[in-house]
Structure 1
Amino acid sequence: MSDTMDRILAIRKIVTVSRWFGLWKWPNEDNGCQIVRKIYPFILHLPLSCTCTALMWIEVIRSEDVTQAGNVLYMALTVFVMLIKIFNIWHRRQEAFAFIDELERHEIYKLLRSEEFVFWKREQKSFQRIFYTYIAGTVAVALTGYLSVLYQESYELPFTYYVPFEWQNPQLYYYAWGYNVLAMSLSCLSNCLLDTMGCYFMFHIALLYRLMNRRLLALREAPEVKAIPELRHLFQLHKRVRSLTKQCEILVSPYVVSQVVLSALIICFSLYRVVQMGKSNTGGLATTLQFVGVMIVQIFLPCYYGNELTVSANQLTNSVFNTNWLDYSVTTRKILNCYMESLKRPVKLRAGMFFEIGLPIFMKTINNAYSFLALLINLSK
């Protein structure tokens, strides 16, 4: 059966949109006529994402107390993490492009049977639904923030930043509001797109490990003559996927480290803002509570997909053991035994030299956020 389906179906549209947001390499970008596409990301992000982030940190520095700083810090930290992700993908743009290109085109990853097509399409659609829902939730937070301030009695910005002119008047307010909307919309969508790409790298490799498990289990009743070519192909595929796992770790490590390390502070300052705000500002309260929910999901997703990769890879030992190996020749059994010995080295993604990407680090981050919040509330008293 020929491999006719799109192997990166879940992010085909995400890749296209990411190019227009200056987050993904264009094909044939090094040609003379395409040089504008190379500088386009800087033209787009420097006056909006980068400048808005700098203005938020200026506002933090100018704050007179913890409460005023907390109203800005939760978003200043969020966009700072987003900039780390952008700089990371710009720095590794060629590696990321080659990574996805290999997953899409290399013959070794070709699907071989109709049930594999069904399995692959189902999982890709599932990933697509999860991240479209996540992106919609993030956009809803931004829209709530943009619109709620228009119904306030006083002049307020959706997401506070330093404005270098007097904006709290009918003539100039909408200039400050409009820049805030443009910069934060770009930052919000860029953050979502980069989260989706980072999680997809881990998801796709986990899916390849699951595919190998399925192929090994399919050999349960297969005679040795039929099993040997399948095993040879699986050994080659496994070697390639292990190499891809290392590449994936390099690509996602800065993104996950920055997200996990700073997320505890982001959630802490967000909840502190809710405590200080009370019920006096309904729009701001709704925006912040939605933001906390989205932030928790944002931390959970890379931890979940990193955990799935580890679990799927470690299941290979059981899958090999469940083949029809007892009926194979001594030579084949020795080869399988050597393969199982090599599988004893656990496959784990590490975020830098700090921690393993998995569900335990998610729980630790939430616990840290609660501890920081309790400490901040006590200090403010």
Structure 2
Amino acid sequence: MHSNSQSSRLGDYFRPQKLILKICGISLRENESISYRLYSGFVMCMIVSLLFVEIHGIVVHIKDVENLAGFIAIVFQHVLTLFKLIILKRNRAIISETLQMLHEGCFAPNFERGGAIEEKLIKECNHDIFVRSATYYIAGAITIGNAVIIALRTKLGQDDYRLWETFWLPFELFEIKSTTCYYIVYIYCSLAITYFSTFVMVTDLLITSVIKHATTHFVILGNFIRNITKYKVEKNNDELYNDYPKLRNDRLRMRMRAAIVYHQEIIKVTERFENLFNIFILCEFVGSIFVLCGTMYKSTLYSLGDQRTIRECVFLFTMTTQLFIYCYCGNELTLSSTSVSFACYEADFIDEDLWFQKNLLMIMMRSQKPVALTAGKFTVLSLPAFVGILRVSYSSAMVLRKAN
């Protein structure tokens, strides 16, 4: 029933995410070269050192609400990113194994099971992931590029070193008085935050890509169940299985067994990712509330045409995109998992044996319990959750604005 050759023809679904993760210093392979380990250690040191610089900035600006809001939002996000990085490094073997599972076994496109539509659906899934990734990366690049240009313009347009701005947040570890010192700090902050941002984006896309593939496999399963009795078995190359009740019954049992195993394997993969990343996603949600609140508040402090307002609005759009991708993918996963029960109802089961109807009923009953990813078991990833986070963030920002 399985066709791994078709899967190999489609290539590695997650190759771009693995490559970018490796550039960020995280490899899903455990046996890396010494040179790569040194590179990974350098990246980690740069990221951790930036975090300490930002925490020092909070202490310096403890009474300055305008800068304090920005520092707290960014530091909170970076602390959570560091926590996510640790989770990823500790579980990289399990993650790599799970990603490989989606290429083989019952997850491989199977012409006998669902026809050419299976390969078509997986190709569409990969295309959707590519479009989503491109949109997210472009939004992130615009956000980072905008902040880079704004900071550099203050250096090129001002002779007074006190008016020079570093990348995104003020650098308060020591006073920057010379051009050489400024450019060193500028490059350091730009690289560190770019690594932070890229790691956040690629992990988001890796998780949502797995969710998207699970969603696609629920659709494939639904198509398989819907047409489970509509197939032909040839004997002597000229007679159909309808003339051979025993042969037909055996083949139907085999197909029903394959459908049940396929359903269980999809649920198993999603539950594995749920157990690995529910705390990860909770951190993402909590961090988003702080960042959105702080960004909304800061964007109200300047005039509409101020370059800082533009910077905050662009960042706000990127953070909203990040949150929407999670919630949209989670919502689609839930809907596709429950749609399997409707596919069972649409199957031609009326004239079939009792064992077939009972098995179909069991699949329907299991499908009525939605498969969903949660944020720390507190809330399901869904569009209502997305709207709720935006409401909480906006309300908090307005309370902060009125209080100050």
- TM-score when normalising by structure 2: 0.86
Among candidates 198, 218, 221, match of residue 227 of structure 2: 218
Query: C-alpha distance in 1, partners of 2:17/2:65?
Result: 39
Contact 1:209 1:313 survives alignment (8 Å): yes
The residue number in structure 2 matching 1:21 is 24
Query: C-alpha distance in 1, partners of 2:108/2:95?
Result: 20
CA RMSD of aligned residues (A): 2.1
Structure 2 matches for 1:269-348, cutoff 5 A?
269-279=294-304, 281-282=306-307, 284-348=308-372
The residue number in structure 1 matching 2:281 is 256
Contact 2:226 2:348 survives alignment (8 Å): no
**Cα 1:231/1:38, change in 2 over 3 Å:** farther
CA radius of gyration, larger in: 2
The residue number in structure 2 matching 1:194 is 203
| 1:4 CA drift (Å) | 4.5
Aligned AA for 1:73? I
**Cα 1:293/1:318, change in 2 over 3 Å:** same
The residue number in structure 1 matching 2:190 is 181
Aligned AA for 1:271? M
SS at match of 2:211: helix
**Cα 1:97/1:39, change in 2 over 3 Å:** farther
Tell me how many residue pairs correspond in the alignment.
Answer: 373
Query: C-alpha distance in 1, partners of 2:185/2:39?
Result: 24
The residue number in structure 2 matching 1:355 is 379
Once the two structures are superposed, what CA deviation does each residue of 1:269-302 show, in whole Å capped at 9, x if it has no partner? 11211111225742x2222111000100111111
Once the two structures are superposed, what CA deviation does each residue of 1:299-332 show, in whole Å capped at 9, x if it has no partner? 1111111111111111111101110100211222
Structure 2 matches for 1:121-270, cutoff 5 A?
121-152=123-154, 153=158, 154-219=163-228, 221-222=230-231, 225=249, 227-270=252-295
Query: C-alpha distance in 2, partners of 1:339/1:122?
Result: 26
SS at match of 1:67: helix
Query: C-alpha distance in 2, partners of 1:233/1:372?
Result: 51
Contact 1:5 1:117 survives alignment (8 Å): no
Contact 2:339 2:367 survives alignment (8 Å): no
Query: C-alpha distance in 1, partners of 2:8/2:227?
Result: 22
The residue number in structure 2 matching 1:368 is 392
- TM-score when normalising by structure 1: 0.91
Aligned AA for 1:267? L
Query: C-alpha distance in 2, partners of 1:15/1:70?
Result: 34
Deviates more, 1:313-322 or 1:14-23: 14-23
Segments of structure 2 that go 5 or more residues without pairing to the other structure are 232-241, 243-247
**Cα 1:6/1:195, change in 2 over 3 Å:** farther
| 1:195 CA drift (Å) | 0.9
Once the two structures are superposed, what CA deviation does each residue of 1:28-52 show, in whole Å capped at 9, x if it has no partner? x34xx73554565333222x21111
Segments of structure 1 that go 5 or more residues without pairing to the other structure are none
The residue number in structure 1 matching 2:108 is 110
Deviates more, 1:289-298 or 1:33-42: 33-42
Contact 1:55 1:161 survives alignment (8 Å): no
Query: C-alpha distance in 2, partners of 1:13/1:6?
Result: 17
**Cα 1:161/1:304, change in 2 over 3 Å:** same
SS at match of 1:326: coil
